[in-house]
Amino acid sequence: MKIQGVFANNYDRFVKRDSLLPPALERLIKSVNPQSVLEFGCGTGTIAVGLALNTFDVTAVDFSDDMLKIARRKANAYKTKIKFIKADIAKIDLGRTFDCIICLGNILPQFSSASSLANCLKIVNASQP
């Protein structure tokens, strides 16, 4: 399923947050003291921006061009430096490790099979320092 067009442009109206980075998520992430954070399924970039504003080195991945376009605009508006990547998280190889990997929202149902989910979990395991 592609998240694009009208839905992408209205996503933030449907998924309302009180802050860019919810306090409970911020505490959880800070508890592992990461320098780098990888967000799978970043959507319109709200959480990625919140992380970047907290001085984390953020890489954010999504498969929707339209969502990433909005995420890049949002990151620019907040003057944050985030590496956005268009990719299928079941097949991605970022060639580096991350201190913390998050996958929020409605990402897991997007996997087409148990083997694609298993492949993603192998990627996550390989991405840990």
What pTM, to 2 d.p., does this model score?
0.83
pLDDT at residue 26, as a whole number? 94
Strand 36-40 and strand 82-86: the pairing is unpaired
pLDDT at residue 30, as a whole number? 95
**Domain boundaries, given as residue ranges, for the chain:** 5-126
pLDDT at residue 93, as a whole number? 82
pLDDT (tens digit per residue) in 38-85 = 999 999 999 999 999 999 999 999 988 999 999 999 999 999 999 999
Q: What is the mean pLDDT of the chain?
A: 85
What SS3 class is residue 103?
Answer: strand
Looking at domain 5-126, what is its CATH homologous superfamily?
Answer: Vaccinia Virus protein VP39 (3.40.50.150)
DSSP 59-92: EEEES-HHHHHHHHHHHHHTT--EEEEE--TTT-
CA Rg, the chain, in Å? 14
Residue-level length of the chain? 129
